[in-house]
Amino acid sequence: MRFSRILIGLMVFSLLLAACAPATPTPTPAPAAPAATPTPAAPAATPTPAVKGTIKIATQSPLSGGQAALGEGIKNGAQLAIEQLKGPIEALGFKVELVPFDDQAKPDVGVANAKQLVNDPDILAVIGHLNSGVAIPSSETYKDFDLVMVSPANTNPCITDRGYLVTNRVCGRDDVQGAVGAEFAFNELKVKTAFVIHDKTTYGQGVAEFFRKRFQ
């Protein structure tokens, strides 16, 4: 308490001295230096949302063998779509990635891959196949496990005529392609006789048969 009082007394005494001191001319203040331009603050970084999980989109197409170029196109198209559309999903905290599978254009390989796909809970859809002969047996597995398949290339009517809710396609069917080819040959090229040859694949045989039926 004593020390506090001493400080208060000194403060009062100093004020009194200042009040009794003779006035001194007020010096002309020096011109103020120009204020420094404030450096704009860097924008706050957008916080990265915590990753809640991974969503996988699979592809099934031939990535080796004679049809690899077409199969790579399916894989690359799916990858491009993911890069362009994943923003809103990642904003919700989910990572989106592509998982490509090589079905080698072989039904048994496609089915074996399908069994792997349905056992991965992070895979929510599969883009494929290139060949109808691979897609038809593989889609039986997708159907049993409710895994959505979107085909960019399969034209056999059986793909969707079975009525499976999981099977979808974004291309024309054999009964459309073959018929259009026959109409073009008959009406535009004025062809009256045609030899029909196919390579014994599901796709080749399907288009050939629908061509023959419409041409006749």
Average pLDDT, the chain: 85
Whole-number Å distance between alpha carbons of 159 and 151: 9
Assess contact for 128 and 98: CB atoms under 8 A: no
Whole-number Å distance between alpha carbons of 154 and 150: 10
Q: Where along the chain do its domains lie? A: 53-171, 175-215
Report residue 78 CA to chain centroid gap: 7
Cα dihedral 119, 125, 129, 132 sign: positive
Q: What is the pLDDT, as a whole number, of residue 174? A: 93
Q: What is the pLDDT, as a whole number, of residue 50? A: 72
Segment 137-158, tens digit of pLDDT: 999 999 999 999 999 999 999 9
Segment 54-111, tens digit of pLDDT: 999 999 999 999 999 999 999 999 999 999 999 999 999 999 999 999 999 999 999 9
CATH code at 53-171: 3.40.50.2300
Helix or strand holding residue 191 (H, E): none
pLDDT band at 13 (very low <50, low <70, confident <90, very high): very low
What is each CA distance from 87 to 43, 74, 91, 149, in whole angstroms?
A: 21, 21, 6, 22
Residue in this structure with the two tokens 């915590």, named with its chain if needed: 50
Q: How far apart are the two ends of the chain, measured CA to CA in Å?
A: 119
Task: Examine the pLDDT at 12 and tell me if it is beyond 70.
Answer: no
Higher pLDDT, 201 or 32: 201
Q: What is the pLDDT, as a whole number, of residue 9? A: 36
Task: Examine the pLDDT at 19 and tell me if it is beyond 50.
Answer: no
Of the listed ranges 24-28, 139-143, 176-180, 205-209, the one predicted with least confidence: 24-28
Q: What is the pLDDT, as a whole number, of residue 45? A: 64
Note the pTM of the prediction, 2 decimals.
0.70
* pLDDT, mean of residues 208-212: 95
Segment 36-61, tens digit of pLDDT: 565 666 666 666 667 789 999 999 99
Burial 127-136 (b: 16+ CB within 10 A, else e): bbbbbbbbbb
Going by C-alpha positions, the residue among 139, 79, 157, 77 that lies closest to residue 103 is: 139
Q: What is the pLDDT, as a whole number, of residue 43? A: 65
Whole-number Å distance between alpha carbons of 126 and 184: 35
